[in-house]
Structure 1
Amino acid sequence: MAGGPLEGVRILDLTSVVVGPLATQILADHGADVIKVESKAGDLVRVMNGKSVTPGMGAKFLHLNRNKRSIVLDLKNPAGHSALMKLVGRADVMIWNNRPRSMARLKLAYDDVRAVNPKLIYCGLFGFGQEGRYRDRPAYDTIIQGAGGMAALHHLVTGEPRFVPMVVADKVVGLIAVQMIAMALYGRTRSGAGCSIQIPMFENLVKFVLEEHMYLRTFEPPLGPAGDPRILDASNRPIPTRDGYICISANTDEQAFAFFDAIGRPELKTDPRFSSVPARFAHVKEYFQVRIDALKSRTTGEWLEAFDRLDVPAMSYNTLDSLLEDAHLKDVGFFELKDHPTEGKTRSMRLPNKWSSGVRREWNPAPKLGQHSVEILREAGYDDAAIDAMIASGATTDGRLL
C-alpha cells in the first residue's frame, strides 16, 4: 500500500495537459491510486514540452504525472468503453476535463456513471459554467487568462496586455479541484452518497482576480475604479541594488519604520505621507520611489543583513537557474535526483508540506503510455485472453516496460 492520507482512494483520471494532471498528481502524492486513462495518442503534454530522452516523456509530463498508473483505452471502441465502466464501478473519484457535451456523446455523463456507481464523486473541469452563453467554448490556460482579466493586469501596469508566463489559470483551477474532491470525499463519509462537481475555469479565475482587483467597484454606487493601485503600481517589482535585485515588502507600521531606519531616513516615520498604513497606501507611488532611491546604494547582501537584523521582510531575487541552487532549498532537500526507468536521472521536487501522520511511502516515476494497461485490466477481472482481444481490436495498448 502507498501510505498517506488518501491511501485506498481510487481515482480515474481522464484529464490531460495541466489543470487535471496537477490535481491528480497532488492526490497521488498523498496516497491515492490514480489511474491515468489515455487515448492511444496519449496526453498532449507528453509531446508539447520540448526535448525528452525518449518520445512522449517531456519534462512537464514527468512533473505532473508521478505516482500514477497509465492505461490506454479507446473510449469510442465498445470494448474500451466497457472496460472504463468496469473501472468506474471500482472507483471513488472520476475526474475529467473535456467539454460536458463531449462526455455526454461518450455516454460518460454523470447519469451514465452514477447508474454504475452511485457513490462515485464525478468531477468535471471545463472552460465555462454551463448556465452561460460561453458554455460550449473550448478553453486553454491563455484563453482563460485573457478572458478572466489576468492579462488586463499587465495592460494596466505596462500598457500592453500580456499572459503570465506560466499556466497559472490551469494551476489555480487544479488546486481548487483538489479542495473540491477532498471535501466531497469527506462529505461522502457522512452521507454515503456520491456527487457531481462542476469546476469552470473562467468563473474561478474571475473570482481569483477580482477578490483584490474589484477594489472600489465592490461598492454600489462605485467609490472609484477597479484595480488595487498598490499592487498595480509599476514600481511594485524587484528593486535594483548595487549588484542585482531585492524583493521587499514592508507593510505594517513596525516594518515600514524599521525600513526607514535601515535606509538612514528615520524622519520619514513622522512624515504624514508615510506615518501610517492608510497614508502609505494613499501615497504609494512616493513610498515606492523612496525604496527605489535608497536600495540602489548597497549590494543585495548588505541590505539583506540590515533587514534581517531589523526584521524587515526581504529576500534576494532568484532567476530560474539560481532557484536550483538556492541554499534554503538545499537545506530542506527540496530537489531530489531520481532514477527513471526510461529517462535516466531526473530532477524531482519533494512534497513541500509535512504531515505528522505520514505521507506516501513509495515514489513511482511518471509512466510510459499504457505502461499499466495489462495490470489494471487484470485487477478489473479481465483474463489474458480478453486482454489480448482488446489489444488486437485497438481498445487498449500494452505499454509494459521491457
Structure 2
Amino acid sequence: MTAPGANPLKGIRVVDLSKILAGPYVTMSLADLGADVVKVEHPDGGDPTRRWGPPFNGPDAAYYLAANRNKRSVTLDLKSAEGQEAAYRLIAEADVVVENFRPGSTLQEAFRYDRLSAAYPRLVVLHISAFGETGPLRSEPGYDMVAQAAAGLMSLTGEPDGPPVKAGYAMGDLGAALFGTIGIVSALVERARTGVGQYLTTSLYESQLALHVNWATSYFTTGEAPHRLGSGHPSLVPYQAYPASDGHFVIAVGNDALWRRLCDLIGRPDLAADPRFHTNRDRVTHRAELNSELEKTLRDDTVEHWCDALRAGGIPVTPIRGLDEVYGSEQTAALGMVQTVEHPVVGPLEQVGFPVSFKGVRPTPRSAPPTLGQHNHEVLSALGYGDEDIRRLTAHRPQRDR
C-alpha cells in the first residue's frame, strides 16, 4: 500500500513530448512522484529507444522499458496540423511540458514557449538540448557520448596510459534529467507562490560541467588540465581499486587517522612512518610510490580476506560487484529498490525503484511502461475526439524529421 506522502506530485499533469533518455527520465521521475504523464509518440515506431536492442522484453527494448513506467502513451504526428491541435488540447490541461526538439526545427517553432505561455500562463516548460540555448554549438545534434566527450568527462575517465573511456552510465543524459527534474519541481513551487509558469532549459553539456565539481575548481586553482587516474581520486590517496590475489577491491581513506589504521591492519606500519606518506597532501604528491607499495602487499591475499579484515577495522572497503551480485544482494532487497509491475504483454516486469522514500515509504509503480499508443482512446476521447477522429489522428504514417 502506498502512503499519502509517497505521491507528492499527485494532481500534476505532464505532457511528455521528448524521446530517448534525458526527457523520458525526467517525466518518469515526475510520474514516480505521482504526476499523471502522457507520453506523445509518433505513430511510426514511437520513441526510438523502443528499438534500441537487443535485449527486448515483449515488443519493446529493455532500454525503453527502463525510463517510461507510470506513463500513458498516445500516438500523434506532431508535424501535422491535426496532431499539433491534439497536442495543444493536451497541453491546455497540463501543468508541465517536457520536450527536446532539435534547435531550429519546425517542431520547436510549433511549440515555442512564448506561444504556449500566452495561451497557458501557468504552464511550466522544460527544454532539453545537447549543448544549450546559446553559443556556437547551440544547433549541434548530440547523444550522450558526444556530450561526455565534448564536456570533458571522457578526458577524466580511463586508465592514465589508456584511451579515453565513456562512463558506464549515460551521465550526460541522466545529469540533464536530474537537473531538469529539480528545475521543474522548483518552478512548480514558485508557481504556487506567484501563479505564473516558467520556461526552463538545460542541456547535456551544462549538466556535465555542473558535475565536474572538484575537478573544475582544481583546474581553476592551478590552471592545469587534470588527467585520467583510472579509479583513483584527484585529491585523496589511497582512494581507488587495488588488486588482490583473485580480483580487485576498493579502499577509500578519507583522513589521516584512517590511513594509520589501514597501515596497521595490512601489516605495514612502515608506510605510516614514512615521511612521504604522513599526510594526505604527502600521499597525493607521492601517489605512484605509495600505490606501488600497497599493491605489493595487497596482492598477497584474497579480496574476501582484505575486505573482511579492513571492514572489521572500520576502513571503508568493498569488493567490486557486478550487477548480478548487486541485484542479488541482501542490501538491495532490504531497501526494496527492485519493484515489479504488471506489463500488458510480458506480465511481471522488474524495475529499479525511485531512490527517495517518503516517511519510510518508497513510491510504488502504478503501471508498466506503455505499449505504443496503448492509451490513444482513453486520452483522446477525454479531449472530445470521436472514434473516427482518433483512428485518423493515430494512423500509422512514415515518420519525418523531428
Give yes or no for contact 1:212–1:227 (8 Å, CA) kept in 2.
no
Pairing 1:54–2:62 present: no
The match for 2:135 among 116, 132, 135 is: 132
| Cα deviation, residue 156, structure 1 | 7.0
* Closer, same or farther: CA 9–204 of 1 in aligned 2, 3 Å: same
1:161-207 deviation digits (Å, cap 9, x = unpaired): 23223322111111111111111111111111011111122132133
Structure 2 length as normaliser, TM-score? 0.89
Instruction: Please give the alpha-carbon distance, in whole angstroms, between the structure 2 residues aligned to 1:299 and 1:191.
Output: 61
Instruction: Please give the alpha-carbon distance, in whole angstroms, between the structure 2 residues aligned to 1:257 and 1:88.
Output: 61
Instruction: Please give the alpha-carbon distance, in whole angstroms, between the structure 2 residues aligned to 1:236 and 1:361.
Output: 36
Give yes or no for contact 1:238–1:247 (8 Å, CA) kept in 2.
yes
* Alignment correspondent of 1:263: 266
Instruction: Please give the alpha-carbon distance, in whole angstroms, between the structure 2 residues aligned to 1:338 and 1:10.
Output: 22
Give yes or no for contact 1:236–1:288 (8 Å, CA) kept in 2.
no
The match for 1:218 among 188, 213, 220 is: 220
> Which stretch shifts more, 327-336 or 138-147?
327-336
The match for 2:300 among 293, 297, 301 is: 297
1:129-208 matches, cutoff 5 A: 129-154=132-157, 157-208=160-211
* Closer, same or farther: CA 392–231 of 1 in aligned 2, 3 Å: closer
- The alignment partner of 1:35 has SS state of strand
Instruction: Please give the alpha-carbon distance, in whole angstroms, between the structure 2 residues aligned to 1:376 and 1:291.
Output: 62
Pairing 1:118–2:121 present: yes
| Cα deviation, residue 356, structure 1 | 0.8
1:1-400 matches, cutoff 5 A: 4-40=7-43, 41-55=45-59, 57-102=60-105, 106-154=109-157, 157-209=160-212, 211-214=213-216, 216-219=218-221, 222=222, 224-227=224-227, 231=233, 237-356=240-359, 358=361, 360-391=363-394
Aligned length: 392
Percentage of pairs with the same residue: 29
Runs of 4+ in 1 over 3 A off after TM superposition: 103-106, 214-217, 222-230, 232-237, 336-339, 357-362, 383-386, 388-395
- The alignment partner of 2:72 has SS state of strand
Give yes or no for contact 1:4–1:358 (8 Å, CA) kept in 2.
no
Instruction: Please give the alpha-carbon distance, in whole angstroms, between the structure 2 residues aligned to 1:62 and 1:393.
Output: 22
* Closer, same or farther: CA 216–363 of 1 in aligned 2, 3 Å: closer
Give yes or no for contact 1:213–1:227 (8 Å, CA) kept in 2.
no
* Closer, same or farther: CA 362–321 of 1 in aligned 2, 3 Å: closer
* Closer, same or farther: CA 335–358 of 1 in aligned 2, 3 Å: closer
Q: CA RMSD in A?
A: 2.7
Instruction: Please give the alpha-carbon distance, in whole angstroms, between the structure 1 residues aligned to 2:312 and 2:186.
Output: 43
AA at the equivalent of 1:326: S
Gaps of 5+ in 2: none
1:44-97 deviation digits (Å, cap 9, x = unpaired): 000012132433x11111121111111111112222111110111111110111
* Closer, same or farther: CA 72–364 of 1 in aligned 2, 3 Å: same
> Which stretch shifts more, 180-189 or 270-279?
270-279
Give yes or no for contact 2:23–2:100 (8 Å, CA) kept in 1.
yes
